[in-house]
Structure 1
Amino acid sequence: MTVFQSRPTRYLIQEKHLSLDNRFTITDDAGNIHYKVHSLFFAMGDKLIISDANGNELMKIRQDSLHFHLTYKLISTHSGATARQIASIKRTGPLWQHKLEIDSSNGKYILQKQGGVSSDDFTLTKDDVTIAVVARDASPMKNLYWVDIIDSKEQDHTFILAIVIVLSCAQRLPVNPISKPQVNAPKTD
């Protein structure tokens, strides 16, 4: 059990399985929408765009198909700034472990499952310090992720929530053709 020094900021990420383009909605614990995540329709691999509640694009998530391990790139696209890659996320270890290693412009992070194989609890750490705690609740129609981010002005909430979205993408079964890297897929951004 993780004990926080101050009250964490809580978000709820809802993934909709049957939606054509609005794949995720991110709200606070009061139900206010903070972010929306759209996917590119008929894209090979995962190509997602994170926007704020007003539709302003903030970040892109791109599955990188040229790696042995499932790998994603996070690209900052805040309005008025040049798009730049801010992180590379790689799934490592056995499939049931769901461990992500994140190399970012702000340092190295690790998101990994806590508890046994059937556990749906994860922690995000940087330099062995817990940054966020994630709990997953799955249903047939959608996945829910409760994300508690430790309150600190140093934490980039959009970045942390993007990591949890990558976790959701990486948790798909490998038999799903959408989750497999597409070697011959054309490059698009």
Structure 2
Amino acid sequence: MNENQILSTRYLIQEKYLSLQNRFTITDDAGTIRYTGNASFFTMGDKVQIFDANGNEMMKIRQDSLHLHMTYRLFSTYAGATERQIALIKRTGPLWEHKLQINCVHGDYKIERRKDGTSSDEFVITKDGDTVGHVTKDASPTKTFYWVDIVDSKEQNHILLLAMVIVLSCAQRIPVNPMAKPMIKSTKSN
């Protein structure tokens, strides 16, 4: 293998807009369901629980509602362990940059749009400055799809990175959220 080739694991996250159970379904390259995410409706802010394929709760995502910037918390709930916060996620920078800053017990992460201008629906995940994943978004009228390629490494926590992409999805679909739509400057003249 040459040094330009990077092995990665690919996942597909499907978000179903009108589903009460399994709102998020995460499959691997072979189409096997690896994780599901159930969202709580009629609550202040987003609340999502992530389960493995056997129905064991792995993580929780909670949106904080009293912050200037959109803020989420990730909690580890592996195998019935005591719930503990492992990450704090905030939108940072100018609104049009669509950047998430993640302070995690495993290091500092960022999710931001690709800077090469290839697509507004492509994102890069970095950890302490190194690229650990790529995300491509594709939407239909009833679902949003996120293709997530995670750079293979013994150090990568795949469920953590997938939970971060679910936060990205939550942040983008909130209608009043500036991340949901690109900013359009008015060209109207009097």
Q: 1:1-189 alignment to 2 at 5 Å?
A: 5-114=5-114, 115-116=116-117, 119-175=120-176
Q: Count matched residues.
A: 175
Find runs of 4+ consecutive structure 1 residues off by over 3 angstroms: 3-6, 115-118
Unmatched runs of 5 consecutive residues or more in structure 2: 181-190
SS in 2 for 1:42: coil
| C-alpha displacement of 1:21 | 3.1
Unmatched runs of 5 consecutive residues or more in structure 1: 180-189
SS in 1 for 2:58: strand
SS in 1 for 2:97: coil
One-letter amino acid of the counterpart of residue 48, structure 1: V
SS in 1 for 2:96: coil
Distance 1:96 1:173 in 2: 15
Partners of 1:73 and 1:89 within 8 A in 2: yes
Distance 2:161 2:92 in 1: 18
SS in 2 for 1:96: helix
Q: Determine which structure has more spread, i.e. the larger CA radius of gyration.
A: 2
One-letter amino acid of the counterpart of residue 138, structure 1: A
Q: Which has the higher contact order (CA 8 A, sep 6+)?
A: 1
| C-alpha displacement of 1:175 | 2.7
Instruction: Please identify which structure carries the higher helix content.
Output: 2
TM-score, normalised via structure 2 length:
0.86
Distance 2:132 2:174 in 1: 27
TM-score, normalised via structure 1 length:
0.86
Instruction: Mark the CA change 1:63 to 1:173 in structure 2 (over 3 Å): closer, same or farther.
Output: closer
| C-alpha displacement of 1:4 | 6.1
Q: Percent identity?
A: 65
